[in-house]
Amino acid sequence: MSPNRPSLTTERLEALSDGVIAIAATLLVLEIGRVELRDDESLFHAIIDLWPSLTAYLVSFTVIALIWVAHHSMFERISSVDRPLLFLNLALLLAIGFIPWPTSVLADYIDEGGTDAAVATALYSLTMTLIGIVFVGMWAHLVRHPERTDGVTEAQLRRSLRLAAVSPVVYGVTIGLAFVSPYLCLAVYAGLAVYFARGPSARAMLADQADDTTSG
């Protein structure tokens, strides 16, 4: 098999991953649920009161989109999949497919205040921490097995590993922070999203950056 194009398994695993990612993101909308009015409540106020569900949709859809960017960026460098990569990737999909549930718990309880709001936020942070750890595991495996990648130096792989480690560390901190202020956690999630949107995994897959490099 040519080292310059991904193997069939790599393509199929990426297609399966894209499928699960697209479905998990699109299922998020079901979490918002039907709007039911209480007594003389107006629909307008009922929709405003749903802000936690609407925010949770926004946050989780954005997170899943950034996971897609990170995953796609990683697989652009992988030329063949071995058993640890296969099962780490399946574990990643298991965790991504799970996101709609902590999202609905977060939406239902962040507005309740007290320990329940903290637990809901901590559950969300825990899910994201686990996803981050699996990503770190995949990059660590690639650092030890650079022959599974294609045209990537070990220094670049180590750099990707360090950058990937930011996610579980920050999300891990928000597990504790949830018990201080759930809303502060939401702000950290937003900050992390901006960091990754501006970051190197998005850059790696984009034509403008590649052009910059070529012409630089």
Interface residues toward a copy of itself, by CB under 8 A:
1, 7-9, 12, 14-16, 18-30, 32, 34-35, 37, 42-44, 47, 57-58, 61-62, 65, 68-69, 72, 76, 80-83, 86-87, 90, 93-94, 97-101, 104-105, 108-109, 115-116, 119-120, 123, 148, 197, 202-203, 205-209
Rounded to the nearest whole angstrom, what is the least distance from the CB of residue 9 to a copy of itself in the complex? 5
Q: Read off the tokens for 76.
A: 């652009």
User: Which residue's CB is nearer to a copy of itself, number 20 or number 165?
Assistant: 20
Residues in the chain: 216
User: Which residue's CB is nearer to a copy of itself, number 16 or number 187?
Assistant: 16
Q: Is 97 helix (H, G, I), strand (E, B) or coil?
A: helix
Rounded to the nearest whole angstrom, what is the least distance from the CB of residue 31 to a copy of itself in the complex? 8
User: Which residue's CB is nearer to a copy of itself, number 2 or number 155?
Assistant: 2
b/e code 185-215 from CB counts within 10 Å (16+ = b): bbebbeebbeebeebebbebeeeeeeeeeee
CA dihedral sign of residues 94, 174, 159, 210:
positive
Rounded to the nearest whole angstrom, what is the least distance from the CB of residue 124 to a copy of itself in the complex? 12
Q: Is 76 helix (H, G, I), strand (E, B) or coil?
A: coil
